Chains A and B, each alone.
Chain A
Amino acid sequence: MKERSVGGTIFDSFNYLFMLVILVLMLIPFVYIISYSLSTPSMMKGGLILFPKGFTLDSYKKAFDDPAVLSGVFISVARTIIGPAAMLLFTSMAAYVLTRAELIGVKFFRKFFVFTLYFSSGMIPMYLLMGYLNLTGTFLVYILPAVISVFNMVLIKTYIEALPRELEEAAVMDGANHFLLFFKIIFPLCMPVFAAVVLFDSVNQWNSFIDTQIYNTMSPNLYTLQYVLYNTLNQINSLEQLKVQGQTEIGALTPQTFKMAITVITVLPIACVYPFLQRYFIKGLLVGSIKG
């Protein structure tokens, strides 16, 4: 045990205090909405609460009885499963091809993809394109533009390049073509990097909000859970406004607990996969920084 100076002890005390403040700032918003969502509306007098008042699951029952919420959950789950699956298949195939230095034109194709990381056409041309392709107002607008992720392509390509080449040489001797070689030999070896990119892609799909706002506002059956939450917040805010102006008695409607419940439902899946996310992400970031 090292000797400790007075200054060091004071520093430690302040440092722990500082970290506790950070913890409070990070956790309080979540603790508050979870507690609120589990409370009985009539018992809420306002102010910050850390524990439910009059514990009840009513607002969750109400949320899951709401057809808009159910439809939102369905659409969000669908895009979170289909999007990353399609991304993995097509992005990893392309990444594999880009590792084949003997392929004619491979340098051109690498530039063709990487260019898109630094340059984009912007919102309006994209909106017009989606309209032109009749993708506006369809589920595919969530999936198709995300099938190829150039960022993930670069990650997967780097990973494949680091694999030992002897493994595939044996397969080539046996006369395997590139499809077989990729799906039978390379694909299973890439599981660690695949797990990471699929996880992040799923989080992105789940969290996406603005594509619904831009392309699908006219199709309520395609609203994602994020969008349903946004709509609920806005409706409740305008009711709030009316209450402030004294035009309505909000007590009977009291959807505050309802909006808290939908918020919790929307965060929950992220919280569930968070342990995996943290592990992969810190590893991924470190790999990136060593290379950089």
Chain B
Amino acid sequence: MILKIFRHRELYLMLLPAVVLVFIFWYVPILGWIIAFVNYKPGISLSSAEWVGFQQFKSFFTQSSDYIYLLRNTLAINIGTLISNLFTAFVFAILLNEIRLRFFGRFIQTVTFFPFFISWVIIYSLSNALFAPSSGAINEMLVEWGILNEGINLLGDPQYSWGLMIALNAWKHLGYNSVIFIASIVSIPSDYYEAAEIDGANRFQKIWHITIPALIPTLIVLLILNSGWILNSNFEQFYLFTNGTNWEKIEVLDMYIYKYGLKLLNFPYATAVGIMKTFISLALIIVVNEISKRATGKAVF
């Protein structure tokens, strides 16, 4: 065996950088979880910190009621995003398939796919340009036409936060999410449609009885698999759109961890919240993977 390992030394050498880097940047920080269990403060050494056990974990639920609004915001926005993303892509793919002009359909697909590749900072900039209360183009236009007396503060008013986050996500991901549905539609055998035509089915009947049923399994698989990630938010998005006036409806777990860790420098508490989030997420992923395996025979692992 040693001989065999020696014979493959070049292969191990080629693997070495990857192993070292993954170890340092993924496994070593997991050791850093220990600070969630000690009374660690910046400036003192870890070894002299006092062991406090699960105190930080408990205080998330007992010290304040923050967890109520955090879980509410995180779940509302992420579940809303998941459903709206899939639903819009589903409908869009079906309607796009009915476009007879080939080049027009392709053009639409090209345009809708583009926002997937732009950064959240750009989307933040675009949102500012269009929706800012006093200088945003849409508000200026509506005020000028006399439809509104003063601009709607979409970016700052908490009552719009959930809707805005969900809508921006749908806008960014419409093209991307629809690709997989379009591929499923293309793979429907054309004799199904031909047989339906012979039976005298019109277009609505073909959509209703052939296209939609053929897409439902894809929809269910995507819904199940993606629901494992509902505690994880895109941090860049929430960092950019959370502000002093809308935070009560937009602050999510990841933002809270950032605030307590890097702004208030309470590392043990922020790490403890992060650990709980990681474990609940992992459990969710395993559960939905199992459900998906049983229900549809498709699974990630």
Closest approach, in angstroms, between the C-beta of B120 and any C-beta of chain A? 7
Bound Cα distance from A244 to B148, whole angstroms:
18
For this complex, 24 residue pairs linking A to B, each with C-beta atoms less than 8 Å apart, are A8-B203, A11-B98, A29-B130, A32-B137, A113-B22, A121-B32, A124-B32, A124-B271, A126-B25, A129-B28, A147-B21, A148-B22, A148-B25, A153-B18, A178-B8, A207-B121, A209-B121, A209-B236, A210-B235, A210-B239, A259-B129, A263-B125, A286-B183, A289-B180
Would A47 and B117 count as touching, CB distance under 8 A? Answer: no
Interface set, chain B 138-184, CB cutoff 8 A to A: 138, 140-141, 144, 171, 174, 179-180, 183-184
Bound Cα distance from A117 to B92, whole angstroms:
30
Interface set, chain A 127-147, CB cutoff 8 A to B: 127-129, 133, 144-145, 147
How many A residues face the partner with a CB closer than 8 A?
96
Given the complex, which residues of A lie within 8 Å of B11, measured CB to CB? 97, 100, 103, 178
Q: What number of A-B contacts does a CB cutoff of 8 Å give?
A: 250
Contact A26 B114, CB 8 Å, known A46-B140, A123-B254, A125-B271: yes
Contact A109 B14, CB 8 Å, known A29-B129, A233-B124: no
Most chain A CB inside 10 Å of its own CB: which residue of B21, B26, B30: B26
Given the complex, which residues of B lie within 8 Å of A121, measured CB to CB? 26, 29-30, 32-33, 274, 278
Would B26 and A33 count as touching, CB distance under 8 A? Answer: no
Would A47 and B122 count as touching, CB distance under 8 A? Answer: no
Most chain B CB inside 10 Å of its own CB: which residue of A97, A153, A292: A97
Cβ of B261 under 8 Å from chain A: yes
Interface on chain B toward A: helix, strand, loop, or mixed SS?
A: helix
Bound Cα distance from A123 to B58, whole angstroms:
20
Closest approach, in angstroms, between the C-beta of B245 and any C-beta of chain A? 12
Would B17 and A90 count as touching, CB distance under 8 A? Answer: yes
Would A124 and B98 count as touching, CB distance under 8 A? Answer: no
Given the complex, which residues of B lie within 8 Å of A118, measured CB to CB? 282, 285
Given the complex, which residues of A lie within 8 Å of B128, measured CB to CB? 233, 237
Bound Cα distance from A267 to B117, whole angstroms:
9
